[in-house]
A and B are shown apart, each in its own frame.
Chain A
Amino acid sequence: MPFMNITHLHLLMNHVPTVGTVIGVGLFLLALVRRNEHLKHASLEVFFLIALATLPVYLTGVAAQQALQGRPDVSAAAIAAHHDAALLAFILMMITGFVAWLALWQFRRHGRSAGWTTGAILLLAVLTLAVVAPAANIGGEIRHPEIKLDADAIAPAGVWISAAAVQDLVTTRPWVWPAAETLHFIGLSLLFGVLFAVNLRLLGGLRGVSFASLHRMLPWGMLGFGVNLITGMLFFIAAPEQYTNNAPFLWKIICLMVAGVDLLYLTVFDKIWALEPGDEAAMLDKAIAATAIVAWVGVIYWGRMLPFLGNAF
């Protein structure tokens, strides 16, 4: 027997983006004031991990919206307003996570990050905070009328983006879905090719190559991931009912979380960075690399099996 449902998962996780961003911004500002590079590095890691964790928060939120559809005791308009605000917050959070990752990658390669990333992250993180906090607040009002200052008003999302507009974009133009599917497969190849090779190096393949020189290719894997995140979200927002009640999709996201943590490990860890041509990775690093490859294969497997094991398409 399952001990909880997806909506419950949303309630468990939904404070992570807001609280996490507050902590991230706080650490980042403290690092700038104290001119402490270690602290800055740590705050970048926080931003990356919070962005990673925000993906299931958004996805489970849409699942909760699906589950609550048609219930007379819940305002659909309030949920829609929460969704729109959350969508913008999600997009900003993802961009912040990407830039934070890029800064971490530069840190590893050059011992410091490029100047522009500091400004960009500060701006993006503050913007994210400005959007995610109200989004969370509107979300709270759905089930907690006691926190509302005006009992009758439904808080407007106050953002220029809406899930309905994205849904409209994908569903009214018959070429968008196939085009996005095609890009999703191209992104898959690029992403898998790079991350398979880097993890394979730790397992003992491509041993004549230093880890540092393979590390150079990681942004290309991230490019593939970015393409797949965008196209994947188009599918999800356009037809959420195909995914929110679909066990393979849940497994796909779990595998993606594992692979995401591995990406951070590949990007920043000292011990593997030092592997010169011919060097063998330690047993623990091999185990992590093997887990990551299994996770990426899992992402492909559960993704491709969506229509067969679940109810997508």
Chain B
Amino acid sequence: MMDFLGWLEGTGFSIWVREAPTIWAFSTILTLHTFGMGVLVGASALLDLRLLGIGRTMPLGPLESLYRIMWAGFWLNLVTGTMLFAADATSRGTQWLFFVKLLFVGLGVATMILIRRQVYGAKTEPVAVNGATRGLAVASLGAWVAAIISGRLLAYVN
């Protein structure tokens, strides 16, 4: 495993991301990662809040298009996150907090998909919000908050 991480970190691409003396490498990729986070978590949180009863006058149907925004944020962050990981593979790949973050991101995405199935799975009208959906909305908010906490603390914890 260490061999692989070492190889990954030593590729020309990883070195470019990490060391290129241009703002378009590491700093821009990191900024895009932050932007993607705002897009994904923001859109997801908006739907979660609606499911928890805030802004009930918003019809659920049209809110399904929030999923396009969420997935755009997700893919942006998968790509930028992979690039950032490659640049620091040996340190990130051996950092337990990094895997905690991945776990919470996975949980966040899983709840996002489950909510879509529950609310919009019926193909016709969105299903009325029930206890299970509200539980998923709380889990979603919790997972994103935990993912942000663990991700942000990566910069401070070894």
Q: Contacts A194-B42, A309-B23 given: A213-B145 contact, CB under 8 Å? A: no
**Contact flags A143-168 to B (C-beta < 8 A → 1, else 0):** 00000000000000000000000000
* A192 pairs with B38, CB closer than 8 A: yes
Q: How far does the Cβ of A248 sit from chain B's closest Cβ, in whole Å?
A: 10
Q: Which residues of A contact B39 (CB under 8 A)?
A: 192-193, 196
Determine the main DSSP class of A at the interface with B: helix
A209 CA / B58 CA spacing, docked (Å): 6
Tell me whether B45 and A189 are in contact (CB under 8 A). Answer: yes
Chain B residue nearest in CB terms to A186 = B148
Chain A, interface size: which category?
Answer: 35 or more
Interface-side segment among A14-22, A54-62, A75-83, A297-305: A297-305
CA distance in complex: A182, B156 (Å):
11
Instruction: Tell me if A26 counts as interface (CB < 8 A to partner B).
Output: no
Give which listed residue, A193, A214, A300, A308, contacts B23 with CB less than 8 A: A308
Pick from A31-39, A200-208, A251-259 the stretch touching chain B: A200-208
> What's the least CB distance linking B130 to chain A, in Å?
21
Q: Is the CB–CB distance between B45 and A213 below 8 Å? A: no
CA of A178 to CA of B158 in the docked complex: distance in angstroms? 13
Residues in B whose Cβ lies below 8 Å from that of A194? 42, 46
Q: Which of B23, B66, B156 contacts A178 (CB 8 A)?
A: B156
- The CA-CA distance from A173 to B133 in the complex, in Å, is 40
How many A-B pairs have beta carbons closer than 8 Å: the answer is: 109
Task: Please determine whether A209 and B38 come into contact, CB atoms closer than 8 angstroms.
Answer: no
Question: Cα distance A197–B31 when bound, in Å?
Answer: 20
Distance (whole angstroms) from the CB of A118 to the closest CB of chain B: 25
Is there contact, CB below 8 Å, between B37 and A213?
no
In the complex, how many angstroms separate the beta carbon of B105 from the nearest chain A beta carbon?
A: 13
Contact residues of B: prevailing secondary structure: helix
Mask: chain B, 115-158; 1 = CB below 8 Å from A; 0 = not: 00000000000000000000000000000110011011101100
At the interface, yes or no: B79 with Cβ under 8 Å from chain A? no
- A283-313 contacts to B (CB < 8 Å): 297, 300-301, 304-305, 307-309
Closest CB of chain B to A181's CB: distance in Å? 6
* Pair B45/A182 contact, Cβ less than 8 Å: no
CB nearest neighbor in B for A296? B38
Give chain B nearest CB distance to A40 CB in angstroms: 26
| Nearest Cβ on chain A to B64's Cβ, whole angstroms | 9
B76 within 8 A of A: no
B: residues with CB less than 8 A from A are: 23, 26-27, 30-31, 34-35, 37-39, 41-46, 49, 54-55, 57-59, 61-63, 65-66, 69, 144-145, 148-149, 151-153, 155-156
Nearest 3 A/B pairs, CB to CB:
A193-B42, A208-B62, A308-B27
27 contacts between A and B (CB under 8 A): A178-B155, A182-B152, A185-B34, A185-B148, A188-B37, A188-B38, A189-B45, A189-B148, A190-B45, A192-B38, A192-B39, A193-B38, A193-B46, A194-B46, A196-B38, A197-B43, A208-B61, A210-B57, A213-B58, A216-B54, A217-B54, A217-B55, A217-B58, A277-B59, A301-B31, A304-B30, A309-B23
In addition to A178-B155, A193-B42, A217-B55, 6 A-B residue pairs with Cβ atoms within 8 Å of each other are: A181-B155, A214-B55, A300-B31, A301-B35, A304-B31, A305-B27
Q: Which residues of A contact B (CB under 8 A)?
A: 178, 181-182, 185-186, 188-194, 196-197, 205-210, 212-214, 216-217, 220, 277, 297, 300-301, 304-305, 307-309
